[in-house]
């Protein structure tokens, strides 16, 4: 004989069924296959990572080996459309070193787009630094447009509310798209006062170029104590989010949530960070010698009221967020750094994956 359930019992049973269904969906997502293909937008390569039903196979690209189904058909979402997340790589980067994060997001049900930023990628870093910081956000907006036009994805992806993730220099991309503004003057004043302490940032990439180190030191020394009114006007120009008169500081209102890993932060003005209103989560490294946390990640967290820490890793370094990161590449890149270029053994693959899972949960909640 079937028992009559009280309202509380009905509710308890419903909660249990919901939890079971959620676990089943999570288990299904964790075993999803990943498709990968590349599109172009105005000569800018964009790598797409997305759920597919086609089995993944090893794919070797230079020193990187990825598990993907090349050019596979995207898998439609069970209900509605999939959310899009754009990944902005670090200086002289590419899609491959961010693949573990892209794969984690794809397994969580997202479509991931990875543009190679113009003038600041592994093949061409002629504009790396402030010149590329000015154009990186537009690369992301262009990437969103390209996905919206793509014949295979346009009907499957919702490009009205998009997530952005940025690592290192990609953090500049993410902060600008959230609405923050930066100035060259902020960089110069910071390095004039803190060059030796934040040498990984102020002399970034000059590890094997002593003559340029000396030149850069002299330039910062000349700016030390100089009254702002006597400095060139071009140093005082703000780049990034909209002006203070605008109720929404975002340059692209489709960007609805941002996550960052070890971002460049000190160049951003405190008042513009305070104007950010969309959810923004940070993954931080306590042993980051390239971008000292107290000048960068902590600067963002101190002034941005909508920013939260997704995960903090006291023993992690700057490049520990890249995976796969072959030893040959890691050593080559580390040699160009002033400090903190090598991965930290105390930060394990399991630690990194747990942090990536938290980024996926963040976007699940916010998009």
Q: What is the structure's pLDDT at 246?
A: 81
Does 120 map to a domain?
Answer: yes
Does 204 map to a domain?
Answer: no
Does 212 map to a domain?
Answer: no
DSSP string of 277-344, one letter each residue: -S-EEEEEETT-SSS-TTTTHHHHHHH-TTEEEEEEETT--SGGG-SS--HHHHHHHHHT-SS--SPP
Low-confidence ranges of the chain (pLDDT < 50): 1-30
- Which residues span the domain enclosing 116? 25-183+238-366
Task: Write b or e for each residue in 208-227: b if 16 or more Cβ atoms lie within 10 A of its Cβ, otherwise e.
Answer: eeeeebeebbeebeebeeee
Give CA–CA dist 171/80, Å, rounded: 30
Phi-psi region of 354 (alpha: psi -120 to 50; beta: other; left: phi over 0): alpha
Does 191 map to a domain?
Answer: no
What letter does residue 268 receive in the DSSP assignment?
B
Q: What is the structure's pLDDT at 7?
A: 36
Does 155 map to a domain?
Answer: yes
Does 317 map to a domain?
Answer: yes
Domain containing residue 254: CATH number: 3.40.50.1820
Does 304 map to a domain?
Answer: yes
Does 81 map to a domain?
Answer: yes
Q: What is the structure's pLDDT at 29?
A: 42
Is the previous residue joined to 324 through a cis bond, with omega within 30 degrees of 0?
A: yes
Domains identified in the chain, total number: 1
Rg (CA), the chain: 22
């Amino acid at each position: 004989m079937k028992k009559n359930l009280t309202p509380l019992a009905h509710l308890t049973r419903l909660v249990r069924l919901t939890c079971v269904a959620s676990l089943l969906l999570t288990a299904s997502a964790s075993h999803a296959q990943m498709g990968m293909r590349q599109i172009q937008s105005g000569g800018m390569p964009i790598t797409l990572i997305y759920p597919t039903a086609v089995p993944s196979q090893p794919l070797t690209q230079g020193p990187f080996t990825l598990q993907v189904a090349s050019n596979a058909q995207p898998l439609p979402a069970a209900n509605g459309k999939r959310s899009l997340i754009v990944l902005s790589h670090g200086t002289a980067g590419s899609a491959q070193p961010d693949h573990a994060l892209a794969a984690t997001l794809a397994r969580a049900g997202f479509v991931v787009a990875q543009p190679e930023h113009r003038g600041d990628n592994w093949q061409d870093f002629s504009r790396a630094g402030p010149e590329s910081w000015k154009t990186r956000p537009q690369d992301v907006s262009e990437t969103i447009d390209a996905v919206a036009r793509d014949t295979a994805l346009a009907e499957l992806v919702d490009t009205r509310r998009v997530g952005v993730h940025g690592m290192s220099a990609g953090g500049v991309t993410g902060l600008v798209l959230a609405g923050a503004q930066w100035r060259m003057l902020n960089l110069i004043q910071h390095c004039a006062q803190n060059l030796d302490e934040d040498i990984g940032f102020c002399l970034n990439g000059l590890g094997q170029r002593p003559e340029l180190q000396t030149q850069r030191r002299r330039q910062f020394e000349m700016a030390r104590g100089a009254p702002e009114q006597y400095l060139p006007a071009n140093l005082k120009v703000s780049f990034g989010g909209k002006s203070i008169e605008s109720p929404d500081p975002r340059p692209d209102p489709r960007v609805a949530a941002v996550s960052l890993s070890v971002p460049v932060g000190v160049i951003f003005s405190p008042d513009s960070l305070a104007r950010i209103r969309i959810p923004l989560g940070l993954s931080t490294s306590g042993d980051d010698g390239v971008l000292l946390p107290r000048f960068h990640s902590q600067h963002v967290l101190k002034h941005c009221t909508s920013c939260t820490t997704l995960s903090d890793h006291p023993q992690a370094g700057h490049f520990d967020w890249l995976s796969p990161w072959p030893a040959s590449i890691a050593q080559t890149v580390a040699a160009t750094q002033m400090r903190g270029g090598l991965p930290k053994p105390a930060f394990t693959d399991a630690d990194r994956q747990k942090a990536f899972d938290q980024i996926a949960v963040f976007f699940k909640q916010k998009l």
